[in-house]
Amino acid sequence: LSGSEGLSPKKIFQILDALSSSLEELKLDSVAVTGHGLPLFLAFLSRLQDARQRAERTFCLRKMIFAEQSVGPQEAMSIFPLLLPSLQILSLRGNLLGLEGMGGLAEGFRNGKASSLECLDLSKTGLDGEGMKVLCGAIGETRHAERSLRVR
């Protein structure tokens, strides 16, 4: 649902709710994850998490791509705890997360919510030495068997 210009956040999530349970990859832009879209996105992720916990057949979301400039530090803190548990691939390319956003991602690793993650694209996120230290420390604490961590 990238390029959703002209669609309201409500319509975007009506579409997502109507999709079949075989959805494996999702790409969203800022319309769906900021402003009025953020509470709808968080509610959507909560429904998926609840269904997973009840072992219901639900979305098998394996790959999540956030379009460039669609997620910032504040959104990251809310989104990552709900999003990470099912993902194998997460692309945050081109989203300036800052130390706060990297801290949210690190917390997901620390809490064991990123155990399925195999590939993490952090290119063009403004990741600096401090953010790298926070993230690597969290990965090291959990001994996460990361197969790919692409940082450019």
DSSP 61-125: --EEEEPTT---HHHHHHHHHHHGGG-SEEE-TT---HHHHHHHHHHHHHTTTTTT--EEE-TTS
Token duo for residue 12: 């975007």
Lowest mean pLDDT segment, chosen from 13-17, 19-23, 86-90 = 19-23
pLDDT mean over 32-56:
84
Q: State residue 92's pLDDT score.
A: 95
Give pLDDT, residue 59.
57
Q: What is the pLDDT of residue 57?
A: 58
State mean pLDDT over 7-24.
80
> For 97-147, what is each residue's pLDDT tens digit?
999 999 999 988 888 888 788 889 999 999 999 999 999 898 888 765 545
